[in-house]
Amino acid sequence: MRDPNVVVFGGSGFIGSHLLALLAQESIPALVPTRHFERARHLTTLPGVDVVEANIHDDATLRRLLEGRTAAINLVGILHASRVHPYGPEFRRAHVDLPRRIVEACAVSKVPRYLHMSALGANVNGPSMYTRSKADGELAARSRSEVAATIFRPSVVFGPGDHLLTMFARLQRRFPVIPLACASTAYQPVYVGDVATAFLHALGDAHASHHVYQLGGPNIYTLAELVRLAGRYAGCERPIVELPLSLARLQARVFELLPGEPLLTRDNIDTMSVDNVLDPAIGDLTAAALGIKLTPLEAVAPHYLAPNEPLDRLRTRAGR
């Protein structure tokens, strides 16, 4: 068996940065293609990590990137897309077409392994475009029998630089009250380091091929509980006003009309309307099968959400 030598798509993001740090520790060479080199420059300090500008939606480019590699890891994901049934073209391009292209290129370039980031709740009949596109992405990941796919379905992921807890901490620093949609929805947040370790362990375990892993942390929380914890750890816990679904969708529609990346969309509301916890009835494997001891949110979140008064004052002045 050849020594691992991988391409990491989406490597400059939140989870990718943690995974590449682990790969560097294990002396596993990794190539990170990116549209904008500057966004991934921070990765160039990691030993064995090469960053190249590339169009990953081009088939010839994919084949060239994958030549001589032992595995492809796909972490690419987006949260917003145009509202079209079953999902918008942005979701189709990122969540369905891209994994299919990568797997096709793996087959042509004789790359035997493909590790794919999906999401807990992925379902072709799911309530949102996001969950439906993630399910079709899993089908694309398995579309070539000669490429052994391993699929990961995490719940919301927390850790330094995360989206969910950090966003709610910032909102509570700025506003006296937090209006909250889907406050009672249950989540099983998983630490980013545990997700990265799951990919690393699966990469080194041929028995992980052709399996699906649900990744959730050791505890379950409602969204309201997560918001309260984020505020408490940030030193600015605010009252929560639970919004009925109709008002939440109206709020999301207003956000969609504002310029820039929306804070919340109606499709996000659709995703948030169902619980996001591990389902033992599905029969998927979990982090335990990869020998991972899960990290509680309470052991990590207080450290990166804790108030940094001089920095917070600068953020306030900058409107951030």
Q: What is the largest CA-CA distance in the chain?
A: 58
**Strand bridging mode 221-222 / 186-187:** antiparallel
* Segment 194-249, tens digit of pLDDT: 999 999 999 999 999 999 999 999 999 999 999 999 999 999 999 999 999 999 99
Check if the beta carbon of residue 62 is closer than 8 Å to that of residue 105.
yes
User: Does the pLDDT value for residue 313 go beyond 50?
Assistant: no
Check if the beta carbon of residue 119 is closer than 8 Å to that of residue 214.
no
Q: How far is CA 83 from CA 2, 117, 244, 274, in A?
A: 44, 23, 22, 19
Q: Cα–Cα distance between 138 and 103 in angstroms, integer? A: 11
User: Does the pLDDT value for residue 144 go beyond 70?
Assistant: yes
Q: Cα–Cα distance between 33 and 73 in angstroms, integer? A: 11
* Segment 150-200, tens digit of pLDDT: 999 999 999 999 999 999 999 999 999 999 999 999 999 999 999 999 999
Mean pLDDT confidence for 106-134: 98
- Give the pLDDT confidence score for residue 284 in this predicted structure: 86
- Give the pLDDT confidence score for residue 283 in this predicted structure: 80
Residue 293 DSSP one-character state: P
User: Does the pLDDT value for residue 114 go beyond 60?
Assistant: yes
- Give the pLDDT confidence score for residue 2 in this predicted structure: 72
* Segment 272-305, tens digit of pLDDT: 999 999 998 888 899 999 999 999 999 999 999 9
User: Does the pLDDT value for residue 314 go beyond 60?
Assistant: no
Q: Which amino acid is at 82?
A: S
Place of tokens 């890891």: 73
Mean pLDDT confidence for 9-25: 98
Q: Which residues contact 83 (CB under 8 A, 6 or more apart)?
A: 129, 266, 267
Q: Cα–Cα distance between 49 and 53 in angstroms, integer? A: 14
Q: What is the pTM of this model?
A: 0.94
The residue ranking higher by pLDDT, 317 or 303, is: 303
* Segment 41-100, tens digit of pLDDT: 999 999 999 999 999 999 999 999 999 999 999 999 999 999 999 999 999 999 999 999
Mean pLDDT confidence for 125-131: 98
Q: Cα–Cα distance between 205 and 175 in angstroms, integer? A: 47
- CATH fold for the domain made of 6-157+190-216+278-292: Rossmann fold (3.40.50)
- Give the pLDDT confidence score for residue 1 in this predicted structure: 56
